[in-house]
Structure 1
Amino acid sequence: MHNIYELPLELPNLEIFEAIASSQDVLIERIISTGQTTPKGQWYDQERDEWVILLKGEAEIAYDDDTRVKLQAGDYLMIPKHQKHRVEYTSSQPPCIWLAVHGKLAT
């Protein structure tokens, strides 16, 4: 048994990506962020849809059309494949705990 909120005793200065379950079609992962952001000028352009919920902390996602979404614990969103986006902000106190599902997802 595991607990989604349990954190390592020492958090590294890097984001942590932990696969919870995966198959050829779907990846479910926990992401722990402690202030990390997408490097300036870089965008995620993913091959699969991503549904993500922020379970703890605060974050901000930006899209290439200048739209920004501020997230607090409990907020979730669907990012369609090839929707360019980046992480502009993640809180470090408390750390962000995300649950992300990647795959061909219906909306």
Structure 2
Amino acid sequence: MANLFDDIPKELSEEVFQYLLTTEFLRIERIVSKGHSSPKSGWYDQSENEWVMVLSGFGVLEFEDGRKITLNPGDYINIKAHEKHKVIATAPEEVTVWLAIFY
């Protein structure tokens, strides 16, 4: 048994990406952020669909078409493969825990 809120580092100078489960067709990942954002240049352009949920903190996503979406605890979104996006903000004063499922 495990808990998504266990073993969160006290120091988060960089985002933490942790695979929780990986199969041939599915990957479940925990992402831990604290004031992090995507690199200024470029977009995520993934070959997989991504279902992502914020469990604590918040995250702001921006899409190539200009949409900006804020995800708060309990909010989730499905991002289609090759739908270009990036994280433009996460909570600076608290830990943001994301659960991402790639399929």
Question: What TM bracket, shorter-length normalisation?
Answer: over 0.9
For residues 42-85 of structure 1, the C-alpha deviation after alignment (integer angstroms, 9 at most, x for no partner) is 10000000000000001100000110001111100000000000
Instruction: State the Cα distance separating 1:21 from its structure 2 match.
Output: 0.5
Percent identity for Structure 1 against Structure 2: 34
Distance 2:17 2:3 in 1: 15
TM-score after normalising by structure 1: 0.90
Measure, in 2, the Cα distance between the counterparts of 1:61 and 1:46.
Answer: 15
In the TM superposition, what is the alpha-carbon distance from 1:9 to its structure 2 partner? Answer: 4.6
Alpha-carbon distance in structure 2 between the residues aligned to 1:9 and 1:29: 16
Matched ranges for 1:58-97 at <5 A: 58-97=58-97
Which residue is 1:24 aligned to? Answer: 24
Distance (Å, rounded) in 2 between the aligned partners of 1:39 and 1:48: 20
Q: Which amino acid aligns with 1:70?
A: T
> Which consecutive aligned stretches of 4+ in structure 1 deviate over 3 angstroms post-superposition?
none
Q: How many angstroms apart in 1 are the aligned matches of 2:8 and 2:86?
A: 25
Count of residue pairs brought into register by the alignment: 103
Distance in 2 (CA, whole Å) between partners of 1:9 and 1:102 is 24
Unaligned 5+ segments in structure 1 are none
The Cα of 1:94 is off from its aligned counterpart by 1.7
What is the Cα-based RMSD across aligned positions, in Å?
1.1
What is the Cα deviation at residue 39 of structure 1?
Answer: 1.4
SS in 1 for 2:89: strand
Structure 2 residue ranges without an equivalent (≥5): none
What is the DSSP-based 3-state SS (H/G/I as helix, E as strand, rest coil) of the residue aligned with 2:32?
Answer: strand
Q: Who is 2:15 aligned against?
A: 15
C-alpha distance after superposition, 1:82-101 (max 9, x if no partner): 00000000013221000000
